[in-house]
Structure 1
Amino acid sequence: MLNMRSDLTPKARIREAALRLFADDGFDAVTVRRIAAAAGVSPALVLHHYGSKEGLRAACDDHILRLTEELMPTPEESGASGATSAAEVFDASAEAKFGSFAEVFPDDSPVLPYLRRMLLADDERAREVLRGWHRMTVDLLTLWRDAGVLDPGPDPEVRAALLLAMDLGAVLLRDPLTELLGFDPLGSGGIDRWGRDAYSFFSLMLTDAPPPEGRPT
């Protein structure tokens, strides 16, 4: 049985065990019986909660989508209502989100390794999750534009894809980046340093919104 938080429900323990095993060994290699043993439950309980191994994988994917959605800053959360430039928006977002990232993805979390495995699988489930992230990013850029502080450019869908590629690239290249930089860019000891420069770079990709008609520049 894997070490897990003692306050997790049996259903959540099953999901956490599946995340770890899927991340370590791949989706095809892991059986319902192994997941049940790691979670300390019976195989029947796994099937009771999730229906099948595919149903459990879908639940893992949905869980990751929810976690990443929580980390996407809204204009209200990052103080965009008082911001006057793209740089100010991302400065505020950085202050709000670095601690949240470390809380949602602690160093022993299976979520980021699972995400890497999912992206490398490149199957329809992975593409569906990627489409969901892209949709959320486009929606977020639209919120910023409507708040009057960011201009996502003439093609927000491409801009969203570029932002997404940079974020997910850090997940895929986490190990070689750690060796290159001398610190884990997605770990609790390195996310502040990595994130601040990333947000500074993002602010260069998203220019300030043009002033309303009639207002001098």
Structure 2
Amino acid sequence: MRSMPEDRTTRALIRDEALALFAAHGPDSVTVRRIATAAGVSPGLVVHHFGSKDGLRQEVDQYVVAVFEAMLGELTGGDGGVEAFDSGAGAASLSAAFTRHLPAGSPLPGYLRRLLLSDTDAGRLLFARLYEVSRAALDGLTAAGLAAPGRDPAVRAALLLANDLAVFLLRDRIGEVLGTDPLSADGMARWAPEVLDIYAGGLNASPPRGS
């Protein structure tokens, strides 16, 4: 009989392999047997831990939301969300901030894309949380004299968030036209300065001299 720590380790391994497969192929295209093979366990053990593939998918959703919640808490702790858009820290946007906090090759950006476009409670919860951060960041930047709230601050915050999430949702297409993965270190080094220039001065903004 397995001890509780081993059960937790096995459960996490199955969840992580499912996350990677779901991100790459979509949950509907991945079978329990394929997940079990990737995790090096039997299909019966997957069912033992999660009850069904739907149960496993729900746990993956909850895990991804928890990971991004933790990152958001780290990024926005104590300053109302301004750090997530702190040019001094090299984070022109949430996408840049997330990229700094995720390991290379992480399946989380791919799964985030699927989750946000899904009609699930987890997808709605995560988007609502991201919007809260975008709104808090705009309010903080406005209070600091670094941004204007616009005629409708709620719409402006939603627009900034939609623009930022487009990097995740259109990652492959953007990479094709730029020749660089926009969420890679090199891609973000190109992306972040343009975002900062546009946010700071609009589309008429010119890059600083010497840059």
Shared fold (TM-score, shorter chain, > 0.5): yes
Shift of 1:22: 1.1
Alignment of 1:176-191 (within 5 A): 176-191=173-188
Residue of structure 2 equivalent to 1:86 = none
Count how many residue pairs are aligned between Structure 1 and Structure 2: 189
Question: Structure 2: 5+ residue runs without aligned partners?
Answer: 1-7, 203-211
CA distance in 1: counterparts of 2:16 and 2:46, whole angstroms:
15
For residues 183 and 67 of structure 1, do their structure 2 counterparts lie closer, same or farther at Cα, with a shift above 3 Å needed? farther
Q: Which one has the bigger helix percentage?
A: 2
Cα contact 2:174–2:182 (8 A) shared by 1: yes
- Structure with the bigger RCO (C-alpha within 8 Å, sep 6+) is 1
SS of 1:189's equivalent in the other structure is helix
Alignment of 1:50-89 (within 5 A): 52-66=55-69, 68-69=71-72, 72=75
SS of 2:137's equivalent in the other structure is helix
Residue of structure 2 equivalent to 1:119 = 116
Range with greater deviation from structure 2 (59-68 or 127-136): 59-68
Shift of 1:74: 6.1
Residue of structure 2 equivalent to 1:152 = 149
CA distance in 1: counterparts of 2:48 and 2:179, whole angstroms:
43
Residue of structure 1 equivalent to 2:24 = 24
Question: Structure 1: 5+ residue runs without aligned partners?
Answer: 1-7, 81-88, 206-217
- RMSD (CA atoms): 3.6
For residues 157 and 66 of structure 1, do their structure 2 counterparts lie closer, same or farther at Cα, with a shift above 3 Å needed? same
Cα contact 1:74–1:143 (8 A) shared by 2: no
1:53-102 CA distances to partner (integer Å, 9 max, x unpaired)? 2431332331343255157456859998xxxxxxxx74324269898644
AA aligned to 2:166 is: G
TM-score computed with the length of structure 1 as normaliser: 0.67
Residue of structure 2 equivalent to 1:173 = 170
Range with greater deviation from structure 2 (67-76 or 182-191): 67-76
